[in-house]
Amino acid sequence: MLPLVDKPIIQYGIEEARDAGIEDIILVTGRGKNAIEDHFDVASDLEAFLKSRGKHDQAAEVRAISDLVPNLAYVRQGDPLGLGHAVLVARPLIGNEPFAVILADDVIDAQPGALAQMLKVFDEVQGPVILVERMPKSQISGYGVIAHEPLRPGVYRITDLVEKPKAEDAPSDLAIIGRYILTPDIFDSLVEEAASVTTGEIQLTNGMKRLLAKRPLYACEVTGVRHDTGNKLGFLKAAVYFALQRPDLAGPFREYLNSLRP
């Protein structure tokens, strides 16, 4: 819920899904995250208050947030047992349909949006698609990494997945980032992974590795600017980046930044 300029990080992800044509969204939440549900709920009292003060534009902005997607559901994860576990708890609501996973911490500025780029690839290959980005060797150990065979520029068939390898052991410089288009057979692979883990955490990358033994998986290299807002520096960079994209803020904000130079 940390804001980038004037809207929370999670809203960027939901807008990306909406712009890609997705109408049904499930938010996996946990204890203490009621603010997420409240943010996207109808706020009739606030709208009425703003209108009574003549602030009709702000009232319209509040209404637009609750109208972002036609169908928004919530499911609680309980204990944070890994991304694979978060996907599994949404299984009853997803059913037997392909679905997308967005990790909102990865905020991606792209036209078309990152998820729209992936859906185009999914339509071509008719199989799971993972978003990847080229990563410096110094950072690669913090990510899942793919081995691959190129299909066309920016699209790859995955031959292996390695979760957080040492830099010298990484099979490529293509790191998995926070977007996935998955098919429902991933659920059985995650259940298999859950039965084998000893740490309690179910890693989605390991579940996909199991799925790879049964069907082809593909990767799409992102075209756009990605910000990892899950760390302090990444969040600060994202805040500056998106402020400079705003016509009403860019000029005076850039002047302020220039004034900070020694």
The average pLDDT across 21-32 equals: 87
Give the model's pLDDT for residue 64: 66
Answer whether residue 63 shows pLDDT above 80.
Answer: no
Give the model's pLDDT for residue 128: 97
Give the model's pLDDT for residue 29: 86
Q: What percent of the chain is modeled with pLDDT above 90?
A: 69
Please, which residues bridge with residue 29 across strands?
76
Residues 6+ apart with CB under 8 A from 90: 26, 28, 75, 99
The structure tokens listed for 233 are 């520096």
Give the model's pLDDT for residue 88: 95
The average pLDDT across 206-214 equals: 94
- Phi, psi for residue 208 in degrees, rounded to 5: -70, -35
Cα separations (Å) of 71 from 25, 40, 67, 116? Answer: 6, 11, 9, 19
Answer whether residue 57 shows pLDDT above 90.
Answer: no
Residues 6+ apart with CB under 8 A from 5: 239, 242, 243, 246, 249
Of the candidates 153, 170, 152, the one whose C-alpha atom is nearest the C-alpha of residue 161 is 170
- Phi, psi for residue 202 in degrees, rounded to 5: -105, 110
- Does an H or E element contain 190, and which? helix 186-196
Cα separations (Å) of 254 from 43, 44, 83, 232, 248? Answer: 34, 37, 38, 21, 11
- Does an H or E element contain 149, and which? strand 144-152
Q: Are 121 and 155 in contact (CB under 8 A)?
A: yes
The average pLDDT across 114-136 equals: 96
The average pLDDT across 64-75 equals: 75
The average pLDDT across 104-129 equals: 95
CA distance linking residue 10 with residue 183, whole number of Å: 23
Give the model's pLDDT for residue 119: 97
pTM here is: 0.88
Q: Are 95 and 183 in contact (CB under 8 A)?
A: no
Q: Name residue 255's amino acid.
A: E
Q: Are 81 and 201 in contact (CB under 8 A)?
A: yes
Lowest mean pLDDT among 39-53, 71-85, 132-146, 246-260: 39-53
Q: Are 220 and 121 in contact (CB under 8 A)?
A: yes
Lowest mean pLDDT among 107-111, 163-167, 182-186: 163-167
Answer whether residue 43 shows pLDDT above 70.
Answer: no
Q: How many CB atoms lie within 10 A of CB 186?
A: 27
The average pLDDT across 121-129 equals: 96
The average pLDDT across 175-201 equals: 92
The single-letter DSSP state of residue 140 is G
CB-neighbour burial class of residue 168 (10 A; exposed 0-12, middle 13-18, buried 19+): exposed
Mean pLDDT in the chain?
Answer: 89
CA distance linking residue 214 with residue 221, whole number of Å: 23
Q: Are 204 and 84 in contact (CB under 8 A)?
A: yes
